[in-house]
């Protein structure tokens, strides 16, 4: 089944079975597309936003827009870094046309189709979904310092969920703390961050931090990382798929008379910005 109605609002379940899990995987891909110089980047980002509307994930939408705009403003205007060109076009007419067309498309989808049902019906905060994520913090009132540091048994967690009438804990940070304890949660976070950071060796430091911050920011709005999600695998696959070392360029040399002397291949490095050909 591809679509379902949650709380009387249209939400697509797509390939991975749950809207929020789909949104997290899509956000990872959109982050790499934003930093890349792939052709039709603006169109791909627009299609990504349409996908997020289908999933009805407010945290993913607000998180991507806010963090991407912040990164773009800081490193494009404050530091005058021309490599952070979202549109990738030197023609101002087409740049403005892209923004106008994309904005109108999102407005039409949001207000005149079912794609915006969830965003328009529950706005930024609602008691049923966002309120539930706040209420689950009450579970910490029933655990002691030792349990917070070293974790609880599955049976103990089930008892607490029953006592608080919680069907599911919709926060992966809290699930990690309850399962593994604060100590191992910190070690797990450091390990995942180090893995992702090292996989992004061909990017600037600020680009690495942007992708990792975007990943954990959106993941913090749901419990995807506490389930059998493929989000981390998607991230690692993107580090390989967008890696400029995969692409070779032909370099020819000539002698003093201009005659070709040798042709050899070289990686597209040292330009660390993502580039697809």
pLDDT at 187: 96
Residue 29 in any domain: the answer is yes
pLDDT reported for residue 222: 82
- Per-residue pLDDT band for 165 (boundaries 50, 70, 90) equals confident
pLDDT tens string 35-49:
988 888 888 998 998
Tokens at 189, concatenated: 């976070």
Q: Establish if 148 belongs to a structural domain.
A: yes
On whether residue 171 sits in a domain, the answer given is: yes
Whether 110 is in a domain gets the answer: yes
Spatial distance between the Cα atoms of 3 and 95, rounded to a whole number of angstroms: 34
For 189-202, the pLDDT digits (tens) are: 999 999 999 999 98
Query: Is 143 domain-assigned?
Result: yes
Number of domains in the chain: 1
The predicted model gives 144-153 an average pLDDT of 91
What pLDDT, in 10s, does the model give residues 265-275? 444 444 444 44
- What does the CA dihedral 265, 269, 274, 277 come to, rounded to 10 degrees? -20
Tens digit of each residue's pLDDT (9 = 90 or more) over 65-117: 999 988 888 876 666 545 444 444 455 566 677 778 777 887 777 776 666 66
- Provide the residue range defining the domain that includes 255: 3-267
Q: Are 50 and 106 in contact (CB under 8 A)?
A: yes
Query: C-alpha distances in angstroms, 11 versus 6, 107, 175?
Result: 7, 17, 25
**Contact in structure between 152 and 123 (CB atoms under 8 Å):** no
Q: Does 272 map to a domain?
A: no
Q: Are 233 and 28 in contact (CB under 8 A)?
A: no
How deeply is 133 buried, as exposed, middle or buried, from its count of CB atoms within 10 A (0-12, 13-18, 19+)?
middle
Judge whether 273 lies within some domain. no
* Residue 275 counted as domain residue: no
Indicate if the pLDDT at residue 20 is higher than 70.
yes
């Amino acid at each position: 089944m591809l679509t379902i109605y949650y709380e009387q609002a249209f939400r697509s379940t797509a390939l991975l079975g749950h809207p929020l899990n789909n949104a997290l995987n899509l956000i990872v891909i959109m982050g790499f597309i934003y930093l890349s110089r792939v052709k039709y980047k603006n169109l791909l980002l627009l299609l990504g936003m349409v996908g997020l509307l289908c999933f009805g994930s407010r945290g993913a939408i607000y998180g991507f827009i806010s963090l991407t705009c912040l990164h773009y403003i800081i490193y494009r205007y404050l530091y005058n870094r021309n490599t952070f060109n979202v549109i990738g076009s030197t023609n101002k007419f087409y740049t403005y046309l892209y923004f106008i067309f994309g904005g109108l498309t999102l407005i039409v989808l949001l207000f005149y189709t079912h794609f915006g049902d969830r965003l328009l019906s529950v706005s930024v905060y609602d008691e049923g979904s966002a309120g539930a994520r706040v209420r689950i913090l009450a579970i910490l009132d029933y655990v002691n310092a030792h349990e917070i540091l070293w974790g609880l048994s599955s049976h103990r967690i089930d008892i607490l969920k029953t006592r608080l009438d919680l069907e599911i804990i919709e926060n992966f940070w809290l699930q990690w703390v309850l399962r593994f304890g604060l100590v191992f949660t910190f070690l797990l976070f450091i390990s995942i961050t180090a893995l992702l950071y090292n996989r992004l060796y061909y990017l600037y430091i600020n680009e690495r931090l942007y992708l990792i911050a975007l990943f954990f920011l959106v993941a913090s709005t749901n419990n995807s990382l506490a389930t059998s999600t493929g989000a981390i695998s998607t991230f690692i696959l993107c580090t390989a798929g967008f890696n400029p070392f995969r692409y070779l360029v032909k370099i020819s040399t000539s002698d003093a008379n201009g005659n070709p002397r040798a042709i050899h291949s070289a990686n597209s490095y040292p330009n660390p910005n993502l580039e697809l050909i």
